[in-house]
């Protein structure tokens, strides 16, 4: 469903490590169709931790400077780690973390930042233990969205060669619906 109204909240997204930014185009397109200007950030060598401040590039975009009154930053996997690091220095931004968690050295626990942590139960790269162990570094008000049967690659649109306990037991479209709708909910809180 195409929105006729452009929103004033924008979204800047850090891709997962060594994953093509194009693998997240359907995600950001869905947000754009809902009216949110969305940027997939360019990071050196495909590794977001090499340029934590990449979201600043989106904020300096000529269209963003005119139309964006607020930003939500997101990221998948190591891109989510970079997004948390960015939000630690820019707490006025919201945060959507896909299959990711803060580094031990990064805490935004005392921040009033709106945070959503979305993860899958069949993810062998960002495990349930990783999510549980990171809760002390996120605000107490963080929303946790567990996707039963969701796995790591299904947060993007790239080849999923996982097997056994790491294989998704939810369809890619159903997993995408969940994390897209949760991202839209967070974006809506900044309107």
- Phi, psi for 110 (deg, rounded to 5): -95, 10
Whether the pTM exceeds 0.85: the reply is yes
Task: With beta carbons less than 8 A apart as the criterion, state whether 24 and 76 touch.
Answer: yes
Nearest residue to 129 via CA among 106, 101, 103, 153: 101
Task: With beta carbons less than 8 A apart as the criterion, state whether 37 and 6 touch.
Answer: yes
- Name the superfamily (CATH) of residues 9-188: Alpha/Beta hydrolase fold, catalytic domain (3.40.50.1820)
Query: Length of the chain, please?
Result: 191
Q: Where are the domains of the chain?
A: 9-188
Spans of the chain, pLDDT less than 70: 1-4
Question: CA-to-CA distance for 97 and 117, rounded, in angstroms?
Answer: 5
For 148-169, write each residue's pLDDT tens digit: 999 999 999 998 777 888 999 9
């Amino acid at each position: 469903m195409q929105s006729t109204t452009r929103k004033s909240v924008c979204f800047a997204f850090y891709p997962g490590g060594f994953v093509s930014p194009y693998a997240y185009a359907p995600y950001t397109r869905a947000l754009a169709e809902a009216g949110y200007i969305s940027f997939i950030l360019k990071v050196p060598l495909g590794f977001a931790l090499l340029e934590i401040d990449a979201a600043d590039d989106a904020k300096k975009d000529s269209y963003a400077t005119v139309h964006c009154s607020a930003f939500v930053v997101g990221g998948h996997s190591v891109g989510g780690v970079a997004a948390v690091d960015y939000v630690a220095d820019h707490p006025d931004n919201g945060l959507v973390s896909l299959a990711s968690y803060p580094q031990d050295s990064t805490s935004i626990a005392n921040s009033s930042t709106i945070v959503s942590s979305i993860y899958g139960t069949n993810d062998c790269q960002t495990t349930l233990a990783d999510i549980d162990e990171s809760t002390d570094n996120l605000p107490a008000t963080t929303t946790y969205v567990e996707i039963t049967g969701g796995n790591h690659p299904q947060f993007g649109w790239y080849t999923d060669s996982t097997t056994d306990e790491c294989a998704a037991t939810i369809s890619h479209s159903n997993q995408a619906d969940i994390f897209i709708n949760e991202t839209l909910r967070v974006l809506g809180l900044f309107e």
